[in-house]
């Protein structure tokens, strides 16, 4: 039976080996995601969804909800509402339920549906750009979106990141179709939840998507005005203060970021030798990575190149503007899974594959120590391995290296023309 299973796997990866092996690896991480989710649940019920539930409940009851205001002694300890005030009424639907578990089940169903739509979007994206997908490839792409480790944890924790990814992806494709009003509106709405999408305005300027910029500004400012009218100016002052002084986690970087903190950020190595706050390191790392993003912008000549330029911007933002948690890895799904199939240059493909594998390997010093303790190694060898891992991960992390590999892949992608794609500068129609 084992031999038959091995033979079926071997037959499965006989073609498109790199793509299929990578997606199969992602499905394997889904099993680890289930284990981690079960472990988190065993240690105590504390998930992102609870922040939404309590915020929605506070809105229904007319109580404060910004930042730590929603802390409830019943079972929630360190969850805060970190989105702009005008977004909270969306969650009032959950707050109307007498028990948080009812809304949680509905939220799980919603997120599974969102991951399914992301999978459909990826399949359509590949085929629209000339990629050929067999039934096996379609299943693997959809399976990765639904059942890989970060998807499983995202659904369990109930966070909104998959929804934000869908909004950003649909908005991107709308802009490329010339529907700037739709893309700008979606991006500005997403920015009211996660803030960092606002920095995608850099890509809009590069793309000269002026209609999208106008739509984003009208939507963004309009929502702020509406939020002020509904919740008052004080709630917004408290929100800004909370984001700048607490949510930014600026103090965690002073004296060097703790290697056990599972954050994916370029600020980590620089915090070890620069006596700067997290907010100051944000400026430093953004300035350092900007030239690499510019290289993608400079060499992007085709429609697909311009999507890669968007992706390079996203990758750079996720490791500079915010200290990304493991939840944020889902933002790589689109268009990265599609680029695996559309990339013809072997070096570029290897960079994308390596990046996707590494971002799905969230091992930190505490995990290395657990693994070493479980192995039949001598005390001396085990100590050397643990200390070596800690020394290395003080300045980097496995997922961070994955992000950098993906960014390098984006740079190479636009520098190596696809044989079937003309790359003349004259073929850059305005999205407007």
Question: What is the model's pLDDT at position 424?
Answer: 37
Q: Could you give the CA distance from residue 415 to residue 129 in angstroms, rounded to a whole number? A: 18
Residue partners of 121: CB distance under 8 A and separation at least 6 = 166, 169, 170, 173, 334
Could you give the percent of the chain with pLDDT greater than 90? Answer: 65
Q: Judge whether residue 270 has pLDDT over 70.
A: yes
Position with higher pLDDT, 306 vs 79:
306
Which residue has tokens 């000549």?
A: 301
Name the residue among 296, 421, 418 with its Cα closest to residue 345. 418
Would residue 183 count as lying in a domain?
no
pLDDT bin (cut points 50, 70, 90) of residue 426 is very low
* 8 Å CB contact between 268 and 400: yes
Instruction: Outline where 44-129 has alpha helix (H).
Output: 48-61, 92-95, 100-128
Q: Tell me phi and psi for residue 361, to 5 degrees.
A: -125, 70
Lowest mean pLDDT among 141-150, 242-251, 405-414, 419-428: 419-428
- Mean pLDDT to the nearest integer, 226-246: 90
Q: Judge whether residue 422 has pLDDT over 60.
A: no
* 8 Å CB contact between 145 and 30: no
Would residue 420 count as lying in a domain?
yes
> What are 6's two structure tokens?
């091995």
Would residue 339 count as lying in a domain?
yes
Helix (H) or strand (E) holding 131: none
Q: Which domain holds residue 349?
A: 249-432
Q: Could you give the CA distance from residue 355 to residue 46 in angstroms, rounded to a whole number? A: 30
* 8 Å CB contact between 20 and 140: yes
Helix (H) or strand (E) holding 135: helix 135-147
Would residue 387 count as lying in a domain?
yes
- Mean pLDDT to the nearest integer, 185-190: 98
Lowest mean pLDDT among 15-19, 45-49, 72-76, 212-216: 72-76
Name the residue among 411, 412, 404 with its Cα closest to residue 269. 404
Would residue 268 count as lying in a domain?
yes
Would residue 260 count as lying in a domain?
yes
Would residue 327 count as lying in a domain?
yes
Position with higher pLDDT, 241 vs 308:
308
Q: Could you give the CA distance from residue 127 to residue 18 in angstroms, rounded to a whole number? A: 19
Question: What is the model's pLDDT at position 4?
Answer: 58
Q: Judge whether residue 432 has pLDDT over 90.
A: no
Q: What is the pLDDT of residues 342-393, one digit of tens each?
A: 999 999 999 999 999 999 998 899 888 888 888 877 778 888 888 999 999 9
* 8 Å CB contact between 170 and 121: yes
Question: What is the model's pLDDT at position 12?
Answer: 59
> What are 321's two structure tokens?
């503007």
Interaxial angle between packed helices 278-299 and 398-415, expressed in degrees from 0 to 180 and rounded to the nearest 10: 30
Question: What is the model's pLDDT at position 167?
Answer: 98
> What are 89's two structure tokens?
């009424």
| 255-259 LR contacts (CB < 8 Å, sep 24+) | 256/394, 259/364, 259/365, 259/390, 259/393, 259/394, 259/397
- How many domains would you assign to the chain? 1
Mean residue pLDDT of the chain comes to 89
Q: Judge whether residue 208 has pLDDT over 70.
A: yes
Would residue 205 count as lying in a domain?
no
Q: What is the pLDDT of residues 69-127, one digit of tens each?
A: 665 544 445 678 889 999 999 999 998 998 888 999 999 999 999 999 999 999 999 99
């Amino acid at each position: 039976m084992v031999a038959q299973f091995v033979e079926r796997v071997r037959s499965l990866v006989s073609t498109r080996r790199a793509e299929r092996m990578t997606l199969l690896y992602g499905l394997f991480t889904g099993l680890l995601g289930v284990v981690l989710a079960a472990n988190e649940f065993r240690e105590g019920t504390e998930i992102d969804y609870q922040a939404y539930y309590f915020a929605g409940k506070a809105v229904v009851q007319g109580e404060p909800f910004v930042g730590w205001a929603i802390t409830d002694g019943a079972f929630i300890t360190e969850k805060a509402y970190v989105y702009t005030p005008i977004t909270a009424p969306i969650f009032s639907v959950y707050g109307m339920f007498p028990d948080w578990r009812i809304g949680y089940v509905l939220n799980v169903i919603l997120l599974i549906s969102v991951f399914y739509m992301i999978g459909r979007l990826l399949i359509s994206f590949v085929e629209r750009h000339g990629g050929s997908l067999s039934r096996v490839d379609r299943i693997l792409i959809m399976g990765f979106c639904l059942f890989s480790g970060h998807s499983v944890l995202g659904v369990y924790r109930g966070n909104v990141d998959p929804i934000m990814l869908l909004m950003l992806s649909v908005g991107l494709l709308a802009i490329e179709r010339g529907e700037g009003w739709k893309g700008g509106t979606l991006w500005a709405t997403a920015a009211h939840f996660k803030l960092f999408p606002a920095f995608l305005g850099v890509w809009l300027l590069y793309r000269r998507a002026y209609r999208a910029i106008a739509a984003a500004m009208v939507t963004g400012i309009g929502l702020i005005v509406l939020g002020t009218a509904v919740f008052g100016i004080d709630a917004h002052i408290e929100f800004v203060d909370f984001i700048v002084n607490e949510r930014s986690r600026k103090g965690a970087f002073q004296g060097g970021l703790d290697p056990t903190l599972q954050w994916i950020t370029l600020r980590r190595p620089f915090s070890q030798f620069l006596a700067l706050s997290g907010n100051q390191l944000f400026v430093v790392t953004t300035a350092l990575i900007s030239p690499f993003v510019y290289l993608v912008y400079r060499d992007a000549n085709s429609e697909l190149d311009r999507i890669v330029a968007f992706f390079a911007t996203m990758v750079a933002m996720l490791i500079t503007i915010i200290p990304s948690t493991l939840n944020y890895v889902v933002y790589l799904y689109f268009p990265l899974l599609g680029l695996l199939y559309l990339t013809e240059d072997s070096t570029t493909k290897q960079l994308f594959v390596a990046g996707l594998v590494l971002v799905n390997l969230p091992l930190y010093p505490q995990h290395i120590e657990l693994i070493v303790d479980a192995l039949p190694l001598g005390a001396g060898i085990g100590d050397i391995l643990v200390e070596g891992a800690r020394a290395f991960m003080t300045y980097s992390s496995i997922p961070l290296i994955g992000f950098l590999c993906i960014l390098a892949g984006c740079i190479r992608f636009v520098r190596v023309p696809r044989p079937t794609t003309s790359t003349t500068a004259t073929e850059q129609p305005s999205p407007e």
